Structure 1
């Protein structure tokens, strides 16, 4: 049995893309080891493949990446392996070096336009360092895939490499019925909005969503997950005295998260046009909303807006300014006929967009590694 070592820098519990990939590889009869990190607040992890969670001394920025990459290199050097699967640019260097040193096949899964993420835009020296690594390695890669056509075209045009597309689609949700007791406990007769995900970071519209609640009545907003601005959101909610309208919860196991998502009346994705990564991203939560059959309100970012418009499953807004968001939501609530149409269309979309269908592309790629 061939062994694949999969590496990622984040907490393994909430990374659904990596878990879906690992589960598919297990179905293909690979021996899978997933390497990531462990945080003080990490949830317990039970998977049908082996996991290694590293406790790191450094938690943030340059020193974290230096420590992680050095320790990952050592682990990759001594663990038995046949294939290496690197997730995102922050794990690519040690994987590439080991693949060359030991003659192992390397697969690269680029979840995003890493060098264009919001956290790097205002840090040109750090951005340049990552870009240097990318320019050195990417043209040499033979097995690459990413999350959508826009990002694939950017990488292909830039580095002359064929880039496959495997979208980050949610697995088919088997039980769509809403837990009535949970719904009554959480929202009662109020409308419920949800913004969820493990990447609730700067410029993703979370602050505007909180401020929006000043202008909405009989409505509750749930923000569930993690990210760079999570503590800021808690302080903002308190300073605006919105504790009765805004509930902020940390990371939840996926199926528990989906129980909240099913109950919600509207799923939010509000990325701003501050960087190319957000412009071309197609966040996990969008497909979670589709599987939960929860209509969407999204900002006008290319890939997300196209998905919503093509399937007629929600609304696209050009400006995420809090008052304008609130006015849009009032219009949505008032137009019950349009809402019902989108709700019905989501039944078709939830059958169309499933990991069970999308994974065939991953299977094909691994059957034909170069």
Structure 2
């Protein structure tokens, strides 16, 4: 659309983007390159008091520099959203669904009013909002899904899978995904007409040194070696098997889990920690803010990445924690999945287990522990030059602002 700002990007996401480090990382990089980036997500919805003040003052929320028509549409949608969000209407059947629907329409209208050159959509509902907004604004539309939707433990509503196929085939100007295996699914099964751009889930390079904070928090002396799992403590990972693997580790090793325990963890894994064989060998460290994470990770001797293989979103995983561990200087233990095991083998930065039995997981951990951490340093330094965000950003920027090619994967 005439008047769209080619240097302006609006990013639509149905959840809280602050919980997605790769959205934050990409946004920072775009801003560093001189682009203006606005993220519209569920966390940016205003409180009812702010909406009431906006309605009284006749302004939009948040304030927009867009055209008058766009502002009017945004104000209208926020008024309707406020109507559904207050009082007894929330108890009416369908009211919460309508509230969410109007919130998403409002976000799409806000995106249009920003008049961006590019709309980025992450999440399946973000895709719907982005398609609507780009259809009105004629902005370039880039789909950047962080998961294989419909291939997760959490099931989608049935209509989202056919929607995504139509959207990928007809609605987008570029598609960004995390690895070659996921790219094949988008082309061969979901009908993508454009070749997906591969942007791996690697973190920004930084110098990291052990801080001693993890050992201090767990009261562990320096002669105790730490095998660390950091991440979600929830279903969809072979975490029970990993806990049980501790029985087969040397006495001077502690298996440490760092993350927020879920209800599943509390019910299924926590009781195992009382077992005599495991009580001294398995520790749970408190969750740490992502900005502080690597200082804790660097205190460990081995980093573990583990998922189950029951869904393709896991089997074709692209874990950001691989980059975390490598940047922090840790060798790794990973499952024999096609998107991660070849990377570990290529750079010789750890060991792979080919079966989820606790004994096999422990065998891989012990294989890494048999080599002193200092002896891994050269291979990890080589990997650290490649497995970082700086190697991925050029492809990301080209996908966001460039032209797609006919699908050939």
How far, CA to CA, are the matches of 2:174 and 2:98 in structure 1? 25
Number of matched pairs:
342
| Range with greater deviation from structure 2 (291-300 or 5-14) | 5-14
Cα distance in 2 between the residues matched to 1:69 and 1:224:
36
Matched residue, 1:133: 163
Give 1:147's aligned residue.
178
CA contact (8 A) 1:279 1:302 kept: yes
Task: Note closer, same or farther for the CA distance 1:6–1:97 as it changes in structure 2 (3 Å cut).
Answer: same
In 2, the alpha carbon distance for the partners of 1:133 and 1:66 equals: 20
Alignment of 1:213-228 (within 5 A): 213-216=246-249, 217-226=251-260
- Find the residue that maps to 1:320 and give its secondary structure: coil
**Equivalent position of 2:283 in the other structure:** 246
Matched, 1:6 2:8: no
In structure 1, the residue matched to 2:317 is 281
State the Cα distance separating 1:342 from its structure 2 match.
Answer: 3.1
In 2, the alpha carbon distance for the partners of 1:134 and 1:66 equals 22
Contact 1:155 1:161 in 2 (8 A): no
State whether residues 226 and 302 of structure 2, in contact with CA within 8 Å, keep that contact through their aligned partners in structure 1.
yes
Alignment check: 8 A CA contact 1:69 1:91 kept: no
- Whose strand proportion is higher, 1 or 2? 1
Residue aligning to 2:394: 360
What CA distance in whole angstroms lies between the structure 2 residues aligned with 1:36 and 1:147?
22
* Offset of residue 8 of structure 1: 2.4
Residue 205 (structure 1) aligns with: 238
Runs of 5+ consecutive residues of structure 2 not aligned to the other structure = 45-61, 63-80, 405-409
Matches within 5 A, 1:319-358: 319-333=355-369, 335-336=370-371, 340-358=374-392
Q: Secondary structure at the match of 2:258?
A: strand
SS at match of 1:330: helix
Distance 1:65 1:248 in 2: 38
* 1:9-28 matches, cutoff 5 A: 9-28=14-33
**2-structure distance, mates of 1:63, 1:266:** 50
> Among 79, 103, 108, which residue is 2:143 paired with?
108
The structure whose Rg is larger is 2
User: Conserved in 2, the CA contact under 8 Å of 1:5 and 1:85?
Assistant: yes
TM-score normalised according to structure 2 size: 0.75
1:313 is aligned to: 349
With over 3 angstroms needed to count, the CA separation of the structure-2 counterparts of 1:23 and 1:107, relative to structure 1, is: same
Matched, 1:297 2:333: yes
- CA distance 1:35–1:28, change in 2 (3 Å): same
1:196 equivalent in structure 2:
230
- Who is 1:78 aligned against? 110
